[in-house]
Amino acid sequence: MAPTSTPQTPFGRVLTAMVTPFTADGRLDLDGAQRLATHLVDSGNDGLVVNGTTGESPTTSDTEKAQLVRAVVEAVGDRAHVVAGVGTNDTHHSVELARQAEAAGAHGLLVVTPYYSKPPQEGLYRHTVEIADATGLPVMLYDIPGRSGVALGHETLVRLGEHPRIVANKDAKGDLGAAAWAIARSDLAWYSGDDILNLPLLSVGAVGVVSVVGHVVAGELRAMIEAYLSGDVAKATAIHQGLLPVFSGMFRTQGVILAKAALGLQGLPAGPLRLPLIGATPEEIAQLKKDLAAGGVDL
């Protein structure tokens, strides 16, 4: 049974975009995924995104994606929202992945803006609606033009928010003004998808975060959100500022690389990366240690 949700927080408040653990020889590590998912929920996450970019979805097979969803739901599905990334730049394939994720027990779907193809806004709208119509699961949009090459426009976001199953947006656009307008004009629950903007996005109406640094500071993110929502903006700001070294440090190179390095430093399941991503260098790991320590992370 999925955890309780509300229209205001359909997927919880603190979600980590979880890495996909692999064994030393590069195979999917389902036992490691279950142990990592349990650790992340115990640490303060009330949601996990699997098979997202941070989960190396471009290099995992459809079969592996289904296996991962099943494993994570089995481990924490009664305590946390498990959201499956299903978006691709192929609408038909995305629909298949959505149905597969539903069958595997996912509680929701993350649908990234189609990448590389650069469709017009009407194409983005139709692509997303076809996916939303394919299952009974709630959908979180993922607006990240820096990776996809095209952004969801204001009007498109408002139109998509009228669909009964499109309930949220993960915002990695880096445009607070655009976020403010879209939040004001739609019923979409807004989630920060850019850790450095977690607190600023709360200030214009976001309800939570989908985080990479949640691998190591989920409790702090939850405390920041709770402080802000209770009206203690000074405390929320202090927590946010204390985490700045972590925000910067985890993205000195590609986020998956350093997320897996950070988990390795803590003795948690992560394993190697699949090409074209590569593991962190000794120099990058040394710098990561300094950044995490400056942000108060115990290693």
| Residue 170 designated active-site | yes
* Given 65, 170, 173, 260, the catalytic residue: 170
* Size of the chain, expressed as the number of residues it contains: 299
Q: Any catalytic annotation for residue 142?
A: yes
What 250-254 contacts at long range (C-beta under 8 Å, 24+ apart), as own/partner pairs, is: 250/195, 250/212, 250/213, 250/216, 250/288, 250/291, 251/195, 251/212, 252/284, 252/287, 252/288, 252/291, 253/280, 253/284
User: Is 54 annotated to bind ligand?
Assistant: yes
User: By the 8 A CB rule, do 56 and 256 touch?
Assistant: yes
Whole-angstrom Cα distance, residue 205 to residue 208? 9
Measured between alpha carbons, how far is 51 from 62 in angstroms, rounded to an integer? 10
Considering the candidates 65, 116, 125, 142, report the single residue annotated as catalytic: 142
Q: What sign for the dihedral angle of Cα 245, 150, 21, 16?
A: positive
210 carries a ligand binding annotation: yes
- CA 90 – CA 87 distance, rounded (Å): 8
Angstrom distances, CA of residue 196 to CA of 85, 181, 182, 193, 240: 22, 20, 20, 9, 9
Q: Please list the active-site residues.
A: 142, 170
Binding-site annotation: residue ranges = 54, 210
Binding-site annotation: residue ranges for pyruvate = 54, 210
